[in-house]
Amino acid sequence: MKAMLLPAIAPIEERPLELVDLPVPEPGPGELRVRVQTCGVCRTDLHVIEGDLPRHTLPIVPGHQVVGLVDELGPSCKGFAIGDRVGIAWLRGTCGECHWCVAGSENLCPDSSYTGYHADGGYAEYAVVPGAFAYAIPERFDDLQAAPLLCAGIIGYRALQRSGVPPGGRIALYGFGSSAHVVLQLALHRGCTVDVVTRGESHRELAESMGASWVGGPGETPPVSADGAIIFAPAGEIVPAALRAVRKGGTVACAGIYMTPIPEMDYDACVFHEKSLLSVEANTRDDGRGLLAEAAEVPVKAHVTEFPLEEANEVLIRLKHDGIDGSAVLRVADGVG
């Protein structure tokens, strides 16, 4: 099968992903194999490739926003049939027995595993996943629209829940990439007012066109204090500004899997008045199911730019330098819906 393989950690500008021919993987017990149609491109892929995350399995096929058709079931795989359209997301396995799994926080499982990091992902014609961690894709979404929901959407959904912003409240979004442009639609559907702070001019224009109440650039402060905020940009220097921008008792949720160091903060301006700073770590399967259901209800319409699989390096370079508005999706199979 055709795949984009990462043999070693390197800056994306060196174009480290190699187009190779790999054996088609065979599903093991409880697993299913997917004939990949599309795969979204995520900033987490960039963090894996460039080594911002602890190094793990190498070589590796990245990609964890996978949409495709089930074409083979492994022994004892239940819940899906040949021909079903499914999604593969970042979380691909947990122990199911630890304190966190039992408590409903499987995203914190110390034995969790991840697609495109511990096992090959969707920058390839085929991918394998445990059937218990695959998602049925709502018919409302075609393959291109569905792909960004499987990480950008799911993580954004969890961050929105963690922010504590009530229906009809006010939320500030810092950074306006793939995840934020999904969250904006969810928040508007919940009756919220949304402010956006982002450095890219085209990103600001997109946010405004999608219904943001106020849009500003780096260093600018939303005109009204928010009930909560989400930081999508992996820049620690944003944290104090976001904390200053929320009301007393407000919450700032950091949605990224990676962030640069957070600078020293003034306690009175940033933390006092019972403000909270929270992180988001991966997701639970309930988050995935909840996001897909709510996204279909809205319905969320991702702003998608499509690219062929072979251009994965170039797409990631553009993503690193804020050159993608909305979501980038790799087309893996011909005739994608």
Averaged pLDDT, 92-97: 97
pLDDT at 334: 72
In tens, the pLDDT along 119-156 reads 999 999 999 999 999 999 999 999 999 999 999 999 99
pLDDT band at 336 (very low <50, low <70, confident <90, very high): very low
In tens, the pLDDT along 248-296 reads 999 999 999 999 999 999 999 999 999 999 999 999 999 999 999 999 9
240 token code pair = 């104090």
Of how many residues is the chain composed? 337
DSSP string, 125-139: SEEEEEGGGEEEPPT
Instruction: Flag whether pLDDT at 337 surpasses 50.
Output: no
Averaged pLDDT, 229-243: 96
pLDDT at 255: 96
DSSP 141: S
List all residues 6 or more positions away from 130 whose beta carbon is below 8 Å from its beta carbon.
30, 31, 32, 92, 93
Instruction: Flag whether pLDDT at 106 surpasses 90.
Output: yes
What average pLDDT is seen over the chain? 96
pLDDT at 76: 96
Domains of the chain, start order: 2-150+283-331 (3.90.180.10), 154-279 (3.40.50.720)
Averaged pLDDT, 303-327: 96
3-state secondary structure of 275: coil
148 token code pair = 């960004």
DSSP string, 67-90: EEEEEEE-TT--S--TT-EEEE-S
Task: Please tell me the distance from the alpha carbon of residue 143 to that of residue 291, in angstroms, as a whole number.
Answer: 16
Cross-strand bridge partners of residue 273: none
> In whole angstroms, what separates CA 175 from the centre of its chain?
13
Instruction: Flag whether pLDDT at 335 surpasses 80.
Output: no
